[in-house]
Chains A and B, each alone.
Chain A
């Protein structure tokens, strides 16, 4: 349904990434079900993002989605997944970065695309992955006193939370 042409167009992004980041930072690329994807080292997360936004052949100006996948029991446990789109070139790409289990942290993309703000807050809220350099990293969907990170695979669905009591004088 017209997807064929778009598929080959998106390969350009992978080619440009290969040219710029081969040897260390770009770990793997591939294409599945019409989606092009690339896996990068987490230390290069911000650099790759800025490159993709500014490179004239990629021009990924639209921030689409940022989320996290818990790949338990694989290590590194979390995959931070970023989807980008180019309004000009009409192509898309998906980026993965593997973040380890203990103290998961990765660079924040808020300086690159301001829309990443709430998406990173949600990834932090649901998975506990911290974003370095985020201006306001706090929970967005759950209430502030919530304990734990609900979308992790070891958080059982039926788990109860401690009852919060409203202290006198609190708002």
Chain B
């Protein structure tokens, strides 16, 4: 270290001369090197950054490699979901819900449909086959959500192979969802009162095949990561969230469960047919990145368990309520009878008649408790349609978790929080 006379923070008389490059950090004695000139450096990560999921900007103040403060700035993917929902009919909102958590769109569709059905008072009249179908496609969406999170997270730590294995499995599942709904990602498959169409012939058998293949891929991914020293060193003990913080910060989903908080909407407040299905809810203990990874991995296996049970138990029957004021009549009726024509006309032009009222309905989304707070004023359009996004709260706690971590730790921490821009910013 050169004695720089212009810097007043240095002692005027150097005690020892160490030339960087010719010496090692171990050459520093006790208390030496403490007064190297340092300054806090602002570092901006994002919004356009390879490791920033979605678009988010983090304004960090770093001291060396250690983060001092972190200001997470979201909102780059804000597409005015609520404002658009106030100007659309109830059925027209389904494509908007697809684009909330866009890696698990069926779960958003289902959550919104359940909320409106509660307001209309028909939540007890949904046909059972429709409920099973909703559970099946919902769990497939949950699996794809976790596959994306784990795959992308692994890739960012350097494990490209695992990324490809998991994305391959995700692709098989999306092909199945494309058969059902016509689109890989923007399904709009669910409707108020049920789902829009029945499962195609032979689909359950194809789903079973895909699940078997996915289990193999997951087993490989597990073998490559779970006891991998590099992976464990980067994930263990990093990004710890305390269980005591979880409730006050509103954390839910795998992030909360990794801290030890055993809250899963499907178990605690069952909806659809979850109370007739047998599954476990994995819960972590330390709340670090690795626990979040392990909880998600185990949840995939539990979802597969749910799927296998649902495929055996699903009954035959209609897939949407039989009420011309809620569900579009069959096209054969619409083109040949005036009653169905009028019903079709009014449903599409005016929208459903949802009685005035308010409801907060919550389901388990990919990231936690996905709530819909809907206010209706009795017309065919909502007065307010609020989404309670689970990852909004999950990302908020990062401003408390990141300080103290190294810059390199931001990558796995952020990856395991699984911020989906569409849901966080809406």
Contact = CB atoms under 8 A, between A and B. Distances in A.
Q: Do chains A and B touch in the complex (CB under 8 A)?
A: yes
Given A63-B248, A118-B392, A3 B269 contact: yes
B249 A90 contact: no
A115 B245 CA distance: 9
A66 B248 CA distance: 13
A141 B375 contact: no
Given A141-B75, A142-B75, A1 B250 contact: no
A157 B270 CA distance: 37
B275 interface: yes
B234 interface: no
A1 B369 contact: no
A137 interface: no
B369 A2 contact: no
B357 A33 contact: yes
A87 B256 CA distance: 12
A94 B360 contact: yes
B271 interface: yes
A1 B383 CA distance: 28
A6 interface: yes
Interface stretch (B76-84, B150-158, B199-207, B344-352): B76-84
A141 to B, nearest CB: 4
B360 A113 contact: no
B364 to A, nearest CB: 14
B407 interface: no
B263 interface: yes
Contacts of B75: 139-143
B168 interface: no
Contacts of A81: 373
A157 B396 contact: no
A117 B247 contact: no
Contact of B248 (A61, A92, A139): A61
B118 to A, nearest CB: 5
B263 A64 contact: no
A84 to B, nearest CB: 10
Interface string B371-391: 101010000000110101000
A69 B375 contact: yes
A114 interface: yes
Contacts of A21: none
B425 interface: yes
Interface in B201-250: 245, 247-250
Contacts of A62: 247-248, 250
B268 interface: yes
Interface string A15-54: 0000000000000000011110100000000000000000
Contacts of B250: 62-65, 113, 115, 119
A3 B388 CA distance: 20
Interface in B260-277: 261, 263, 268-272, 275
Given A114-B248, A140-B74, A141-B78, A2 B83 contact: no
Contact of B393 (A32, A118, A139): A118
Q: Report which residue of B82, B268, B386, B425 has the largest number of chain A beta carbons within 10 angstroms of its beta carbon.
A: B386
B3 interface: no
A34 B392 contact: no
Nearest to A126: B82
Contact of A87 (B121, B263, B269): B263
Given A1-B275, A87-B247, 10 more contacts: A2-B270, A33-B121, A33-B359, A63-B249, A64-B388, A94-B360, A114-B249, A115-B250, A118-B392, A142-B78
Interface of B: 73-75, 78, 80, 82-84, 87, 118-119, 121, 245, 247-251, 261, 263, 268-272, 275, 357-360, 369, 371, 373, 375, 383-384, 386, 388, 392-393, 396-397, 400, 425-426
24 contacts: A1-B270, A1-B275, A2-B269, A2-B270, A33-B119, A33-B357, A34-B118, A61-B247, A61-B248, A63-B393, A65-B360, A65-B373, A65-B386, A87-B263, A113-B249, A114-B248, A114-B249, A115-B249, A118-B396, A119-B250, A140-B75, A141-B74, A141-B75, A141-B426
